[in-house]
Amino acid sequence: MNSLNAIRLRFVQLRNHILQKKLARLKVAILGSGVTGQAVAEFCRGRGISFYVFAESERLDLNDFTHLVYSPGAINSSLLREAQLAGVPCLNDLDFAQKFYNNRTIAITGTNGKTSTAEMLHHIFKKLRIPSLLTGNIGIPPISQIEKFNENPEMWNICEVSSFQARDLAVFHPNYVLWTNFAPNHLDMHRTLEDYFLSKCNLMRRVREVAVVDSSVFQWPFAKNLRRDRILEIATEGSNGTESALPCAHQVANFHLIRVLFGKIFPGQPIDPRLLEDFSFPPHRLRPCGVVENLTFWNDSKATNSAAVKAALAHVKKFCDHLIWITCGRSKGEDMENFRPMISAADRVLVTGEIGETFSKYFPASNVHHCPTDESLVEQIRACANAFGGQKCAVLLSPGFASFDRFKNYEERGRWFECLAKKVQRLFTKNPENKAGYAAMAGANS
């Protein structure tokens, strides 16, 4: 046994020596200084790899570098295109990380529900004591987890993959892929809807074993480009929605995909929805965030496309007599016509932020109101509450657009909405007239 351990130790030392020699020859240009760029820089710094972090506005001689590593948001960078044309090896963060670990990987993609699905799967792995790490578009670059992967070859990589990451993959080869759904999105970054779809397809082409895909994906004409030999098409429309731990239909559908994938990875080991009884969905995904008398506030700040809004409206309508839908943000290039069905689905539509004026002009319906300020938004909510009498009323923030008009991200926007709910609460608590009005409404309800 001792001699066997000595051989293993010698093998590890030799492998590390060879790896170190390879690393010493690398010289990496890192495009972007965000979370991804910083993680790549830290990895290089810790291993003695020569690197330089630069921005789009800088110009440098790319021939001085062995690789260019770029952040997902840089897919349309002119400097990246220059480097590709010059023959410089260009890798996104998933490709670069894949060079340094061999752990089994489950890649999760889709227009909506990627993060929640990844976190659900990670939670199930933890409950079953299967070692795993969350990485990728969820905000944890896999390059930052290399040491943990190398320390434990049994550690799974549960990796959320965006279309920006999927589009140009050249090295990343996941063992399994789960594709939740597809809907128009990110058309400000992708040239066309087809380009967006084909970016997802590139991930599917790279799967080693099997991909589990919601059947709704195949309704799109671009699906003819999918290689079907390693794809398992699953219908989730009629999935059993009784799981108490999964309050929304789309969460039930995603759990169904997880269950099928899990059965492929671990045959004979079924999973039960009760594993999720102590699971908390990530914040700012369709959940109540405040109650003011007969008003219930729902925060769905993560919803940045029409498909997500449609799902949110359908769910919230089950719990109210009247629905006030708040939409806001910056357009990502989606056809405004996709939002028309939502106008008639809501009793009142309040639109604010950068999209406000455009949206209200495109939809001149009587129930659409442009609210350029927070004060006007609060006033409209108050007016709606009075107009709808004592009936149950939901105030739903499901923006349908990006948060970058006035917020750093959707989390900051979600916190803004929760503060807005508190403003409304204070308004009705401090204003005697409104308080009396709500007392009357409560009496009418009893």
334 in the same domain as 265: no
225 or 418: which carries more pLDDT confidence? 418
Distance from C-alpha of 184 to C-alpha of 187, rounded to nearest angstrom? 7
The residue type of 143 is I
Q: How sure is the predictor about 438, in pLDDT bands with cuts at 50, 70 and 90? A: very low
Crossing angle of helices 114-127 and 249-265, in 10° steps, is 50
309 in the same domain as 222: no
Q: 136 lies in a domain?
A: yes
What pLDDT is stored for residue 22 in this prediction? 58
Summarize pLDDT for 311-366 with one digit per residue, the tens: 999 999 999 999 999 999 999 999 999 999 999 999 999 999 999 999 999 999 99
296 in the same domain as 269: no
- Given a contact cutoff of 8 angstroms between Cβ atoms, the answer to whether 216 and 181 are in contact is yes
296 in the same domain as 420: yes
259 in the same domain as 113: yes
Here the CATH number for the domain that contains residue 48 is 3.40.50
339 in the same domain as 255: no
436 in the same domain as 295: yes
Average pLDDT of span 64-68: 90
176 in the same domain as 147: yes
Here the CATH number for the domain that contains residue 220 is 3.40.1190.10
66 in the same domain as 121: no
Which among 233, 253, 276 is the end of a domain? Answer: 276
Summarize pLDDT for 265-314 with one digit per residue, the tens: 999 888 988 899 888 888 899 999 999 878 999 999 999 999 999 999 99
Summarize pLDDT for 141-169 with one digit per residue, the tens: 999 999 999 999 999 999 999 999 999 99
Which among 62, 88, 114 is the end of a domain? Answer: 88
Q: Please, is 245 exposed, middle or buried when counting C-beta atoms within 10 Å of its C-beta (0-12, 13-18, 19+)?
A: middle
Range list of β-strands (E), 362-411: 368-370, 393-397
Structural tokens at position 279: 């699971």
Q: 114 lies in a domain?
A: yes
What pLDDT is stored for residue 390 in this prediction? 76
The residue type of 231 is I
- Count up the domains in the chain and report the number: 3
Q: Which domain holds residue 194?
A: 102-276
Which among 242, 276, 310 is the end of a domain? Answer: 276
152 in the same domain as 247: yes
